[in-house]
């Protein structure tokens, strides 16, 4: 939602921008290798879930301010603030007030923080008419985090590299029903990677995900499940429960902890 105010017949100014940063799920997540710079190369498919979202409001202001409501955000500089400072350093944009109503679970593998950062870039681009293309926004988003560029286009993509290499995919889950289990478990990405047990390298995900969903159960995996299920057995039990209920496919998303399942409607 973009709200305009007309100051005179020849000038239209944006009064505020309200956006809805959505979540994503991973259809498979394979860790290919750890690089010398400490980053991990991955293969994954990111699928946007627009029924799960935060609410982001950005308003031009004389002073800069960030506030939040909803789910409590851990202390530290919020990614929305980082996004503002990033563009401010290159374009000398004026101040804004940012309010984030947090609804997407944190430490859940749903990409909520990455989405918030990417959508803040989009909002600032609109407010200040920076005329940045999506490709330019993706470069800024990558500075914020490896998952952030995905949310600029916000369509299904095959992800490789450290998250910066993206290929559009024609995958549509709208005729299926998604169910989620939201445990009160926070798994930080840093902790998940520290406990990661590398599996046999599998580079076939791009082909596997094009198969019928009924075949995904025994072919597509999330490499983070091994350590997460050992540490939190409830996650494994929930996945098994979803399959007993008739799920076509179930998996942990990202580095955890949310478990999702795909059902026929």
- Positions marked catalytic: 24, 147
Q: What burial letters (b/e) apply to 150-183, b meaning 16+ CB within 10 Å?
A: bbbbbebbbbbbebbebeebeeebeeeeeebbeb
Distance between CA atoms of residues 22 and 48, nearest Å = 7
Strand order from edge to edge, sheet including 249-252: 176-181, 259-264, 249-252
DSSP for 101-155, written as a single string: EE-SPTTSSS-HHHHHHHHHHHHHHHHTT----HHHHHHHHHHH-TTTTHHHH-S
Distance CA 202, CA 181 (A): 27
Neighbours of 28 (CB within 10 A): 24
118 CB contacts (<8 Å, ≥6 apart)? 21, 83, 137, 141, 144, 148, 149, 150, 151, 152
């Amino acid at each position: 939602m973009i709200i305009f105010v007309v100051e005179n017949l020849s000038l239209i100014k944006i009064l505020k921008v309200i956006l809805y940063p959505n979540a994503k799920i991973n259809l498979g997540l394979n860790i290919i290798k750890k690089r010398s710079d400490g980053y991990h190369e991955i293969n994954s498919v990111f699928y946007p879930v627009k029924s799960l979202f935060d609410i982001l409001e950005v308003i031009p202001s004389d002073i800069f301010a960030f506030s939040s409501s909803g789910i409590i955000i851990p202390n530290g500089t919020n990614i929305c603030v980082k996004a503002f400072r990033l563009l401010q350093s290159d374009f000398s944009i004026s101040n804004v007030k940012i309010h984030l109503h947090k609804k997407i679970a944190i430490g859940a593998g749903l990409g909520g923080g990455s989405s918030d950062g990417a959508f803040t870039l989009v909002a600032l681009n609109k407010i200040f008419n920076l005329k940045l293309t999506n490709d330019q926004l993706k470069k800024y988003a990558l500075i914020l985090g490896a998952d952030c560029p995905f949310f600029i286009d916000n369509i299904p993509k095959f992800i490789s590299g450290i998250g910066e290499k993206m290929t559009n995919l024609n995958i549509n889950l709208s005729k299926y029903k998604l169910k989620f289990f939201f445990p009160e478990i926070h798994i930080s990405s840093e902790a998940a990677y520290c406990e990661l047990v590398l599996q046999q390298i599998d580079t076939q995900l791009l082909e596997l995900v094009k198969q019928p969903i009924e075949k995904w159960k025994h072919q597509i995996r999330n490499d983070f499940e091994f350590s997460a299920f050992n540490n939190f057995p409830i996650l494994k039990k929930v996945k098994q429960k979803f399959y007993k209920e008739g799920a076509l496919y179930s998996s942990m998303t990202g580095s955890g902890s949310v478990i999702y399942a795909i059902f026929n409607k």
